[in-house]
Amino acid sequence: MSPPAPVESRPVRPVGPLVIAIEGVTKLYQMGDETIHALRGVSLEIRRNEYLAIMGPSGSGKSTLMNMLGCLDTPTSGKYEFNGQDVASMVDDELAEIRNKEIGFVFQTFNLLPRSDALRNVELPLIYAGVPAHERHERARQALESVGLGNRIHHRPNELSGGQRQRVAVARALVNRPSIILADEPTGNLDSKTGVEILALFDDLYELGNTLIVVTHEEAVARHARRILRLHDGLIASDGANY
């Protein structure tokens, strides 16, 4: 696919190096006696500094594809390369390493540790990466400042609003300087005003050169992305620029 013609109101879509290359990926699930074909052969390339929205009705394979992209799961068949590494054949701990270094997750339900303050929550990926304490604090603090929570670093999740919690989660996703940020319905648990704020934050991250993948069923959310991928019955129904 060739990059679409530039449009005045939007910046030119950059063509960065390849981050994700998926080819003919399928995923089967065994549910009792029934075999479910969640993905029936998906091919996809994602380059650095793309802003991709993945859409589709429930049961379309959207979640499965997201798990696959996030290296939480491996395909039944097909090829998956992440920065040139063959992910499809990796075992648990190797996948954990990739997730830790290359992927920043943002969940619909924030998934913060309730008993740890914002700083410790953001530090967590750095602990798993083996970053020394001093550097860890500094980087976590910077990440929180970059999402506008520099004055909330010692608040616990239950002392923060929904929007602030999701910002902590975004800071946590950013702190390891990952290759991609993978957000699963990031505004799903937020009111519309706060949702807009989070999406504005995503826009900023994109402008700063990050690569974002947002899984959503809301057109309003997908509208922020520069490229929209629609799934249907485990296949890509459409994949195109969003201008």
Binding stretches for other proteins (CB under 8 A):
67, 70, 72-73, 92-93, 96-97, 99-101, 105, 107, 111, 113, 115-116, 124-125, 127-133, 172, 176
Q: Which two tokens stand for residue 205?
A: 């991250």
Contact status, residue 214 vs residue 183, Cβ threshold 8 Å? yes
Percentages (nearest 5) of helix, strand, coil residues in the chain: 35, 30, 40
Tell the smallest beta-carbon distance from residue 168 to other proteins (Å). Answer: 13
Distance from C-alpha of 186 to C-alpha of 48, rounded to nearest angstrom:
21
Judged by DSSP in three states, 1 sits in coil
Rounded to a whole number of angstroms, the minimum distance from the CB of residue 194 to other proteins is 21
User: Of 72 and 235, which has the nearer Cβ to other proteins?
Assistant: 72
**Nearer residue to other proteins within complex by CB, 67 or 142:** 67
Between 15 and 133, whose beta carbon lies closer to other proteins?
Answer: 133
Rounded Cα distance between 173 and 161, Å, is: 18
The distance of closest approach from Cβ of residue 158 to other proteins in the complex, given in angstroms and rounded to an integer, is 12
Closer CB to other proteins, 129 or 237, in the complex: 129
Please work out, in degrees rounded to the nearest 5, the angle formed at the alpha carbon of residue 242 by the alpha carbons of 56 and 25.
45
Select 32 or 130, whichever has its Cβ closest to other proteins: 130
CA distances from 158 to 108, 109, 116, 161 (A): 16, 13, 10, 8
In the complex, the smallest distance separating the C-beta of residue 218 from other proteins, rounded to whole angstroms, is: 20
Shortest Cβ 76–other proteins spacing (Å): 14
